Amino acid sequence: MEAQCINILETLAPCLVRGGMDPGLAQFLSIAAGVLIVSAIPLVSVIIFIWIERKIAARVQDRLGPNRVGPFGILQNLADAVKLIIKEDITPAGADRLIYNAAPIIAMLSVILIWGVVPFTPVHIGADLDIGVVYVVAIGSVGTLAIMMAGWSSNNKYALLGAFRVVAALVSYEVPMIVALLVPLMLAGTMSMQGIVEAQQGMWFVVAAPIAAVIFYISNLAETGRAPFDLIEAESELVAGYNIEYSGMKFGLFMASEFLHSFTVNLLFAIIFLGGWSGPFVHQLPILGVVYLAIKSLIPYLFTIVLRSTVPRVRIDQMMAFNWKFLVPVSIINVLLVAFVLKIIQELGLSPSPENVHDFAANVPQAVILLATNLLMGLVTLNVLRNAGRRERIADQARALRTAEQRDSAIVPSAS
Amino acid sequence: MLEFNPQLIVFFLFAILTLGGALGVVTNRNLIHGAIYLIISLFGGAGLFVLLSAPFLAAVQVLVYIGAIAILIIFAVMLTRSMTSMRELYNRQWWISAVVAVLLFGLLVLGVIGPVWVADEEASQPVSDLVATTQDLGVALVDGNQYVLPFEIASLLLTAAMIGAIVIAREDD
């Protein structure tokens, strides 16, 4: 089928062909422009993200934040970037030069490559892979490798210790994240990112699968090293962590990739649970989708920032216990429960048919039943947690009482 | 004879990555470097999967082999300090692995070349009919007539291995 030239923003290649260009060349140019734009957007926008984060963190801590360079200090990070670039580039003695230099690039790459499958609008997507979600998870796991490489090649014990800790945490938190992702995949019936957004035209998945959404959000906090899971750079314990030996722009790449990763996972959250680009009039004017997507991903992102500047850091053992003893079981039970209930709903004929999936009313019965299931499960979980907490507290008090008694009985004879 | 097209260039690129990485694994004394070469080799393999229009396998290759297994190998090597600076390239069992490797290579070559060599007109199908989608793969794994039994056995084996790992790692109390 020959694509028609409707609008230069949506159909670049056919428009170039109509302008008298060789079709092969037009195709190539269109793809090259797409790659350039998709990889440039995150690199440029990370400057804005860092500014937003610094401003909000400053407000939370009763400061003003950057306010000297440009209006509201918005150009502060450009100045910082210039500083990072002109700083001396130091490679520590005994460092493994090749791995040391490759690590920051891989860290950045592992984030930017995710943007290749992000559906910005109904027509703008880098590549609408059949396996979009698996691709995202796979690319994300490469970031772990970059941290490992950085920690080992720096030839520094703190860097190595930091890398160990981070990698252990990242590998663990991948488990509940992937399991939680299964729920929206079941609801959408596809792994393509565009397909997931299409399936949410009638109802966002956050309504039908709130528990999966919360688990996905929490494990993403850990994956991106955000508070309360920011062990990735525990300044007070590990000096800085895996990137301690890096200076200049190499450090800048690590920092930028961290900020960008934090926004990127919220972008994924918006796509998978908040309906992505969907919104009013988006089919008439596809470019509106970018605006909707930006707003939707900024909401969880702002929440992440406020969280980062308000909560304390957890210990590594608490972090691991929380993952393996709470998140993983809850996410697995959630998947089983949703799969079971979803099948019943489908057998009863209450789920929306492929024709009216875009219709809000048709989605209501399924969403309501799933929401009720989720709420029930949430209540049970909270109850179990409360009982466990009470038992723990009683045991703790008994222990304290025992030690106090022992101390008293030890003191009394010596006093007499 | 060989038609010059971009796909061919990409194929050779990934083939060089795969083979070069594999060569790096076996010739390197530094185990961490070896693991990195292994990752390069696996990445080349993932690229070859993409060229064969099997994106799911490519993603799984990256996720499982690079994201999990290679990371675990690096982790294990780093935790055993003496392993990072090995002096000798071979150990006493080199000839066993050489024999096994040659046998495996011979089998693979037979398996690939054999059907082409004795191909008759009836058995040959156009490649386009043979290309399976991710959906076909998913159905095949849970279809009673196809691979549901091997699939379940593999799951059971993995679960057993996981429980075994937990039992070994647990402190006696």
CB atoms within 10 A of CB A301: 23
Query: Are the Cβ atoms of B36 and A191 closer than 8 angstroms?
Result: no
- What pLDDT, in 10s, does the model give residues B116-158? 666 655 555 555 555 567 777 788 888 878 888 888 999 999 9
Model pLDDT, residue B82 = 62
Which residues from chain A sit within 8 angstroms of residue B134, using beta carbons?
130-131, 191
Of residues B65 and A287, more confidence is placed in B65
Among A105, A129, A242, most B C-beta atoms within 10 A, so best to mutate, is: A129
Of residues A219 and B140, more confidence is placed in A219
Distance from CA of A135 to the nearest CA of B (A): 5
- Is the pLDDT at A232 greater than 70? The verdict is no
Q: Is residue B91 part of a domain?
A: no
* DSSP H or E stretch at residue A233: none
Distance from CA of B61 to the nearest CA of A (A): 8
Q: Does A179 touch chain B (CB under 8 A)?
A: no
Contact, A124 vs A293, CB < 8 A? Answer: no
Distance from CA of B59 to the nearest CA of A (A): 5
Residue with tokens 């801590």: A61
Q: pTM of the prediction? A: 0.85
- What pLDDT, in 10s, does the model give residues A120-135? 888 777 777 778 888 8
Query: Are the Cβ atoms of A171 and B68 closer than 8 angstroms?
Result: yes
The pLDDT confidence band at residue A1, using thresholds 50, 70 and 90, is: very low
Minimal Cβ distance to B39: which of A129, A137, A145:
A145
Contact, A104 vs B29, CB < 8 A? Answer: no
- Is the pLDDT at B56 greater than 90? The verdict is no
Residue A125 DSSP SS3: strand
Query: Are the Cβ atoms of A148 and B133 closer than 8 angstroms?
Result: no
Q: Is A123 exposed, middle or buried (0-12, 13-18, 19+ CB in 10 A)?
A: middle
- The average confidence (pLDDT) of chain A is 83
Which residues from chain A sit within 8 angstroms of residue B42, using beta carbons?
none
The percentage of chain A sitting over the pLDDT mark of 70, rounded to a whole number, equals: 92
Which residues from chain B sit within 8 angstroms of residue A144, using beta carbons?
67, 71
Distance from CA of B96 to the nearest CA of A (A): 32
Minimal Cβ distance to A141: which of B32, B36, B66:
B66
Query: Are the Cβ atoms of B67 and A144 closer than 8 angstroms?
Result: yes
Among B36, B81, B162, most A C-beta atoms within 10 A, so best to mutate, is: B36
Model pLDDT, residue B100 = 94
Among B28, B37, B62, most A C-beta atoms within 10 A, so best to mutate, is: B62
Q: Which residue of B has its CA nearest to A168?
A: B75
Model pLDDT, residue A191 = 85
Minimal Cβ distance to A134: which of B33, B59, B75:
B59
Model pLDDT, residue B131 = 59
Q: Does A138 touch chain B (CB under 8 A)?
A: yes
Q: What's the DSSP call for residue A202?
A: S
Look at chain B and report how many structural domains it folds into: 1
Summarize the confidence of residues A170-184 as an average pLDDT.
Answer: 89
**Can you tell me the distance from the alpha carbon of A114 to that of A264, in angstroms, rounded to the nearest whole number?**
8
Distance from CA of B17 to the nearest CA of A (A): 16
> Which residues have C-beta within 8 Å of that of residue A342, sequence separation ≥ 6?
A186, A187, A351, A366, A370
Query: Are the Cβ atoms of A134 and B56 closer than 8 angstroms?
Result: yes
Q: Does A96 touch chain B (CB under 8 A)?
A: yes
Which residues from chain A sit within 8 angstroms of residue B66, using beta carbons?
138, 141-142, 145
Domain with B26, as residue range(s), is: 1-85
Q: Is residue B10 part of a domain?
A: yes
**Can you tell me the distance from the alpha carbon of A183 to that of B139, in angstroms, rounded to the nearest whole number?**
19
- What pLDDT, in 10s, does the model give residues A90-107? 888 877 888 888 889 999
Q: Is residue B59 part of a domain?
A: yes
- What pLDDT, in 10s, does the model give residues B40-50? 999 999 999 88
Query: Are the Cβ atoms of A139 and B68 closer than 8 angstroms?
Result: no
Minimal Cβ distance to B55: which of A96, A129, A142:
A129
Q: Is residue B68 part of a domain?
A: yes
| Extents of the domains making up chain A | 87-326
Q: Is residue B143 part of a domain?
A: no
Residue B68: give its domain's CATH number: 1.20.120.1200
**Can you tell me the distance from the alpha carbon of B159 to that of A180, in angstroms, rounded to the nearest whole number?**
20
Residue with tokens 């943007």: A115
> Which residues have C-beta within 8 Å of that of residue B143, sequence separation ≥ 6?
none
**Can you tell me the distance from the alpha carbon of A231 to that of A165, in angstroms, rounded to the nearest whole number?**
8
Model pLDDT, residue A127 = 76
